[in-house]
């Protein structure tokens, strides 16, 4: 390992280039989704598409099942590479991948058994769509080991700043996520057929990620060795991330299920469509921080000054990029949705989009706080905050949704984002001064 590796990992030129590549690879799905989602809605129908958005949520939520080992592995590798301490690093990686794959098999079995409960109680699926929804979830359950392994494989590539490789290998997922449904719809509207295409894309990407990661790991040693004793330091960090991710994922997605259960599945799409737009816009901070997280992890213990520079540069860049987008969304929500989908859809959804746009900017800055705090090794802080927030948010969400419908659910969502912004922002600034 070169003596100048830390400088190579975190130099401005490398971070700027990788941030641009990461933004491009994250932004491509947004561009494709802009054109394909209206076609998918019209092709599948509003109610079927609403169920599909819930399935997308479940796919995204699979990341919480890796016990935080994926993110912990990224932080661990980056810190070791920054300190140029690479002894047995490949053994730690193989051990983590093995444990994550085993956890994936356990998750597959658990989800398989829970599918009837998920579709009836959580998703409130109408009888007409029950069979195809359950078949879709069975396919997802079978793919969970690979989906979970995928997270860690990407994390390994991020640790080595291989964002060009990551971008290229995301293409099958992008294609199958947004173009795949359009290829299926001329033959069938069955949700299981659409989900089969989504699973195929992730399978192809997982295989490709593994090949590239193996090439990197083999440079340290040709051994494939597993030591269970090496999992303890990763579990210590990852355990808090797991708790935080589980609670945060529930809070981030349970509003859809509250709406489906308290109001109707038919109106879920009016709520989730603007939220999906914001989720796509949040690729800006997510893409930038995927590059900055390993850099901050590498620098924090060795060069606090450089770590502060990375933090404030991230704040400046993300705010500059997101602020004008948020203003456009607020002022042009109604005509934009009318042009994109329909006037009827816009009338029921534009106020939600305006409320969510305000939270979107704060959420983007929150991503910086989460990543910085975890990069310092204090993964327990966000988890403890979420433990306090969780019961309060559920009560607020239930009350506002029951009394104010979709607007109430959006206001509850915004309230949670505001709390995170002030609390995590205060903690981050305190840590920067220490």
CA of 142: how far to CAs of 52, 136, 417, in Å?
Answer: 18, 10, 34
Separation between Cα atoms, residue 76 and residue 105, nearest integer Å? 24
Q: Which helix (H) or strand (E) holds 250?
A: helix 231-262
CA of 207: how far to CAs of 102, 107, 154, 157, 219, in Å?
Answer: 17, 20, 12, 14, 19
Length reported for the chain? 434
The secondary structure of 10-67 as a DSSP string is H-HHHHHHHHHHHHHHHHHHHHHHHHHHHHHHHHH-HHHHHHHHHHHHHHHHGGGGGT
Separation between Cα atoms, residue 417 and residue 114, nearest integer Å? 30
Q: What is the pTM of this model?
A: 0.71
Phi then psi for residue 66, to 5 deg, are: -90, 10
Res 3: pLDDT: 43
The percent of residues in the chain predicted with pLDDT above 70, rounded, is 89
Separation between Cα atoms, residue 76 and residue 231, nearest integer Å? 11
Q: Which residue has the tokens 């000054």?
A: 305
Could you read off the pLDDT of 39-55 as tens digits, one per residue? 888 777 777 777 777 77
- Count the neighbouring beta carbons within 10 Å of the beta carbon of residue 345: 18
Could you read off the pLDDT of 229-284 as tens digits, one per residue? 667 767 777 778 778 877 887 888 788 878 877 777 777 778 888 887 777 788 88
Whether residue 97 contacts residue 225, with contact meaning beta carbons closer than 8 Å, is answered with no
Whether residue 350 contacts residue 410, with contact meaning beta carbons closer than 8 Å, is answered with no
Q: What is the mean pLDDT of residues 401-408?
A: 87
Q: Among positive and negative, which fits the CA dihedral 379, 385, 388, 392?
A: negative
Q: DSSP 3-state helix, strand, coil percentages of the chain (rounded to 5)?
A: 90, 0, 10
CA of 431: how far to CAs of 53, 307, 374, in Å?
Answer: 38, 11, 11
Separation between Cα atoms, residue 210 and residue 218, nearest integer Å? 12
Query: Count of alpha carbons within 13 Å of 43, Cβ hemisphere only?
Result: 20
Separation between Cα atoms, residue 35 and residue 37, nearest integer Å? 6
Could you read off the pLDDT of 113-144 as tens digits, one per residue? 888 877 777 666 777 778 888 888 888 888 88
| pLDDT at residue 430 is higher than 80 | yes
Res 1: pLDDT: 42
Phi then psi for residue 272, to 5 deg, are: -75, -25
Strand, helix or coil at 149? helix
Q: Which of 63, 12, 81, 16 is nearest to 294 (CA)?
A: 81
Res 418: pLDDT: 94
| pLDDT at residue 2 is higher than 60 | no
Could you read off the pLDDT of 92-107 as tens digits, one per residue? 788 888 888 888 888 8
Separation between Cα atoms, residue 164 and residue 213, nearest integer Å? 13
CA terminus-to-terminus distance, the chain: 31
The secondary structure of 73-94 as a DSSP string is HHHHHHHHHHTT--TTHHHHHH
Q: CA-CA-CA-CA torsion for 416, 239, 370, 110, nearest 10 degrees?
A: -60
Could you read off the pLDDT of 334-391 as tens digits, one per residue? 888 888 778 888 888 888 888 888 888 899 899 999 889 988 878 889 889 999 999 9
Give the range among 144-148, 161-165, 421-425 with minimum mean pLDDT.
Answer: 161-165
Could you read off the pLDDT of 200-224 as tens digits, one per residue? 877 887 888 888 888 877 776 656 7
Domain count, the chain: 1
Provide the residue range defining the domain that includes 382: 5-433
Separation between Cα atoms, residue 55 and residue 322, nearest integer Å? 28
Of residues 308 and 416, the one with the higher pLDDT is 416
């Amino acid at each position: 390992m070169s003596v100048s590796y830390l400088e190579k990992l975190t130099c401005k030129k490398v971070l700027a280039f990788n941030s641009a590549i990461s933004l491009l690879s994250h932004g491509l799905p947004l561009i494709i989704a802009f054109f394909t989602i209206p076609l998918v809605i019209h092709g599948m129908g509003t109610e079927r598409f609403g169920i599909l958005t819930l399935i997308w949520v479940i796919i995204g939520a699979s990341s919480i099942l890796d016990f935080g080992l994926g993110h912990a592995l990224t932080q661990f590798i980056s810190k070791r590479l920054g300190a140029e301490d690479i002894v047995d690093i490949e053994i730690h990686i193989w051990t983590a991948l093995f444990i994550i794959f085993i956890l994936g098999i356990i998750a597959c079995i658990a989800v398989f058994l829970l599918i009837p409960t998920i579709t009836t109680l959580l998703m409130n699926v109408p009888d007409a769509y029950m069979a195809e929804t359950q078949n879709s979830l069975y396919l997802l359950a079978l793919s969970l080991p690979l989906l979970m392994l995928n997270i860690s494989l990407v994390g390994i590539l991020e640790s080595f700043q291989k964002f060009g490789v990551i971008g290229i290998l995301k293409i099958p997922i992008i294609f199958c996520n947004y173009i795949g449904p359009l290829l299926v719809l001329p033959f069938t509207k069955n949700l299981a057929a659409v989900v089969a295409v989504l699973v195929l894309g992730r399978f192809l990407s997982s295989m490709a990620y593994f090949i590239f990661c193996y090439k990197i790991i083999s440079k340290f040693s040709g051994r494939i060795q597993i030591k269970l004793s090496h999992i303890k330091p990763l579990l210590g960090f990852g355990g808090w991330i797991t708790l935080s991710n589980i609670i945060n994922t529930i809070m981030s997605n349970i509003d859809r299920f509250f709406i489906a259960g308290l109001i109707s599945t038919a109106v879920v799409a009016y709520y989730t469509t603007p939220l999906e737009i914001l989720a796509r816009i949040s690729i800006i901070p997510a893409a930038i921080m995927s590059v900055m997280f390993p850099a901050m992890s590498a620098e924090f213990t060795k060069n606090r000054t450089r770590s502060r520079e990375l933090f404030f540069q991230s704040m400046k860049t993300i705010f500059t990029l997101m602020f004008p987008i948020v203003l456009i969304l607020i002022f042009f929500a109604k005509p934009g949705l009318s042009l994109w989908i329909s006037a009827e859809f816009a009338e029921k959804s534009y106020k939600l989009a305006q409320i969510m746009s305000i939270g979107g900017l704060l959420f983007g800055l929150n991503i910086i706080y989460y990543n910085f705090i975890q990069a310092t090794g204090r993964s327990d802080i966000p988890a403890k905050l979420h433990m306090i927030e969780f019961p309060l948010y559920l009560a607020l969400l239930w009350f506002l949704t029951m009394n104010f419908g979709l607007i109430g659910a959006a206001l509850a969502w915004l309230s949670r984002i505001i709390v995170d912004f002030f609390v995590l922002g205060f903690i981050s600034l305190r840590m920067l001064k220490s």
